């Protein structure tokens, strides 16, 4: 049962969250207005309740004080009278003891409950006669009538000590009517105040969210051809200023990505058009007149070279696409960097001999990585070095062990790379000399593939170049890379 409740509780919480979201208005302006109106009404209600109870307590305290003062006056008066006959002799005197209080009435009883004096507004009540009372007053109230009584006894001034029961009555009907009217007025103020505050909140929210509306309007005008137009930052409130800055940084990244994508598309079309144009031209020349078998063979062999170049280009594009999508998972193995460098150097030995260049491998390094990808990165760097190394020079492949990573460096003594090109040398299809885009049969994606391989290994890559002296590409492989999550 507990497992069932545990399984159902996330669903129930999600259902309650969706229900609350449905109950809330769609617009932020309406939400702010409603929340402001509710908070204001809550404050008004709390204020009204506090004031109502404070007024009620004040009225009850004042009435109790009047009753106690009147009772004390009556007790003092009775102590000056000699007998019961003197009590009933002058009734007007007892009315004067009320001092014009319309809510007060009094009654005087003999100890045997015989009425002596009673004002016109007094309400006969058996409870006031049944309650035990002494000099100290006793409070009595009625459930069916808004009346409160104060009961006490007072001795007469005679020697016999005759006791007279004194009852002071307070009629709270006027008090209750006043409190009822006050409560209605408070409710009216709360209702009107809530409505007025809701309207004010709507106007304030509309005014406060006006910069956001302007920001939205400016953002809607942004398109792929207007990415260079940033959103305003200086005239925005503090909260929206950070949003504008973040949005502008995103626009800058998008603009850069669009620019690179446009350049990439142009370079890709150019690199694919060149071999296709060559294939088409060779085919048209071959078909323009009858040819011998050897001539057709030469055309086919030339076409095969172009097809291989297209295949390498497509293979490189597919590799970069898989790397960008994160669908490639590393197969981590122990890598002996020197051994792998010697293997790749042996593969390029014939090409190096034809170019009059010697490949020298030195140092030792060990780490965990994807062996085929490490080989491909080294192969691309060595191939790039051979294509730029002058005849009679040496291409150095150095392996070095560091504290947290293994470093593989490939150096050549070519013409070097100018500083403006160093930042973009790893971009796709980027070439230092665009006029040599077909040199060595390259695709312009070799260094971009190296960058993708290092990103998958969570490694670092760098290039240093001194013109006509040395250019060094360095790869820093972490010794124990984290396996990226597969897509």
Contact 397, 408 (CB under 8 A): yes
Question: How does residue 357 score in pLDDT terms, banded at 50, 70 and 90?
Answer: very high
State residue 441's pLDDT score.
Answer: 52
State residue 439's pLDDT score.
Answer: 47
Q: Is the pLDDT of residue 63 over 70?
A: yes
When pLDDT is averaged across residues 4-32 and rounded to a whole number, the result is 62
Q: Is the pLDDT of residue 229 over 50?
A: yes
More confident site: 55 or 219: 55
Q: Is the pLDDT of residue 230 over 50?
A: yes
Q: Which of 15-19, 28-32, 232-236: highest mean pLDDT?
A: 28-32
When pLDDT is averaged across residues 180-192 and rounded to a whole number, the result is 92
Cα–Cα distance between 427 and 474 in angstroms, integer? Answer: 16
Q: What share of the chain is helix, strand, coil (3-state, %, to 5)?
A: 55, 15, 25
The region of weakest confidence among 29-43, 262-276, 286-300, 380-394 is: 262-276
Q: Could you give the percent of the chain with pLDDT greater than 70?
A: 85
Q: Is the pLDDT of residue 405 over 70?
A: yes
State residue 327's pLDDT score.
Answer: 62
State residue 125's pLDDT score.
Answer: 80
Write the CB contacts of 73 (distance below 8 Å, at least 6 apart in sequence).
97
When pLDDT is averaged across residues 263-280 and rounded to a whole number, the result is 72
Q: Is the pLDDT of residue 256 over 70?
A: yes
State residue 248's pLDDT score.
Answer: 79
Q: Is the pLDDT of residue 159 over 70?
A: no
More confident site: 195 or 320: 195
Question: How does residue 374 score in pLDDT terms, banded at 50, 70 and 90?
Answer: very high
Q: Is the pLDDT of residue 8 over 90?
A: no
pLDDT tens sequence across 290-317: 878 887 788 787 788 778 777 877 777 7
More confident site: 475 or 440: 475
State residue 87's pLDDT score.
Answer: 80
Contact 199, 30 (CB under 8 A): no
Contact 376, 343 (CB under 8 A): no
State residue 484's pLDDT score.
Answer: 54
| Nearest partner of 447 among 388, 369, 365, judged by Cα | 388
pLDDT tens sequence across 409-448: 999 998 888 888 888 888 877 776 654 444 445 567 888 8
When pLDDT is averaged across residues 234-240 and rounded to a whole number, the result is 71
Q: Is the pLDDT of residue 111 over 70?
A: no
When pLDDT is averaged across residues 117-142 and rounded to a whole number, the result is 82
Question: How does residue 228 score in pLDDT terms, banded at 50, 70 and 90?
Answer: low
Cα–Cα distance between 139 and 132 in angstroms, integer? Answer: 11
State residue 296's pLDDT score.
Answer: 77
User: Quick one: three-class SS letters along 433-480?
Assistant: CHHHCCHHHCCCCHHHHHHHHHHHCCCEEEEEEECCCEEEEEEEEECC
Question: How does residue 485 score in pLDDT terms, banded at 50, 70 and 90?
Answer: very low
More confident site: 329 or 369: 369
Cα–Cα distance between 447 and 427 in angstroms, integer? Answer: 7
How many CB atoms are located within 10 Å of the residue 487 CB?
A: 9
């Amino acid at each position: 049962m507990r497992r069932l409740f545990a399984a159902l509780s996330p669903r129930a919480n999600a259902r309650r969250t969706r229900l609350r979201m449905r109950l809330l208005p769609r617009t932020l302006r309406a939400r702010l207005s409603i929340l402001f109106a509710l908070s204001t009404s809550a404050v008004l209600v709390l204020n009204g309740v506090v004031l109502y109870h404070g007024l009620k307590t004040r009225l009850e305290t004042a009435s109790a004080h009047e009753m106690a003062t009147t009772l004390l006056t009556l007790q003092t008066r009775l102590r000056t009278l000699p007998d019961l006959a003197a009590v009933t002799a002058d009734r007007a005197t007892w009315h004067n003891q009320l001092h014009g209080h319309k809510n007060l009435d009094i009654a005087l009883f003999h100890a045997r409950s015989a009425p002596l004096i009673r004002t016109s507004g007094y309400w006969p009540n058996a409870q006031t006669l049944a309650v035990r009372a002494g000099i100290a007053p006793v409070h009595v109230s009625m459930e069916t009538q808004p009346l409160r009584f104060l009961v006490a006894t007072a001795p007469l001034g005679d020697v016999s000590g005759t006791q007279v029961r004194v009852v002071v009555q307070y009629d709270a009907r006027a008090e209750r009517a006043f409190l009822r009217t006050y409560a209605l007025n408070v409710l009216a103020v709360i209702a009107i105040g809530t409505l007025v505050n809701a309207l004010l909140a709507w106007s304030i929210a509309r005014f406060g969210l006006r910069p956001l509306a302007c920001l939205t309007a400016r953002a809607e005008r942004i398109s792929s051809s207007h990415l260079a137009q940033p959103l305003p930052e200086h005239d925005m409130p503090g909260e929206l200023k950070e949003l504008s800055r973040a949005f502008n940084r995103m626009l800058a990244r998008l603009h850069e990505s669009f620019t690179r994508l446009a350049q990439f598309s142009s370079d890709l079309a150019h690199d694919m058009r060149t071999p296709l144009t060559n294939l088409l031209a060779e085919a048209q020349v071959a078909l323009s007149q009858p040819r011998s078998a050897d001539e057709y063979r030469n055309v086919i062999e030339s076409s095969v070279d172009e097809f291989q170049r297209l295949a390498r280009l497509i293979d490189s594009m597919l590799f970069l696409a898989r790397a960008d999508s994160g669908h490639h998972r590393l197969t981590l193995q122990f890598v002996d960097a020197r051994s792998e460098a010697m293997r790749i150097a042996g593969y390029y030995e014939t090409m190096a001999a034809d170019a009059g260049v010697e490949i020298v491998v030195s140092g030792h390094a060990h780490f965990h990585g994807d062996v085929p990808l490490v080989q491909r990165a080294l192969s691309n760097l060595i191939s790039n070095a051979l294509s730029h190394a002058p005849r009679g020079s040496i291409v150095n492949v150095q392996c070095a062990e560091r504290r947290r990573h293994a470093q593989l460096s490939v150096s050549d003594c070519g013409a070097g790379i100018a500083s403006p090109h160093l930042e973009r040398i790893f971009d796709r299809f980027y070439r230092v000399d665009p006029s040599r885009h077909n040199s060595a049969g390259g695709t312009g994606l070799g260094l971009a593939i190296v960058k993708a391989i290092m990103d998958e290994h969570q490694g670092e890559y760098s290039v240093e170049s001194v013109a006509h002296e040395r250019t060094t590409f360095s790869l820093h492989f972490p010794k124990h890379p984290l396996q990226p999550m597969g897509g």
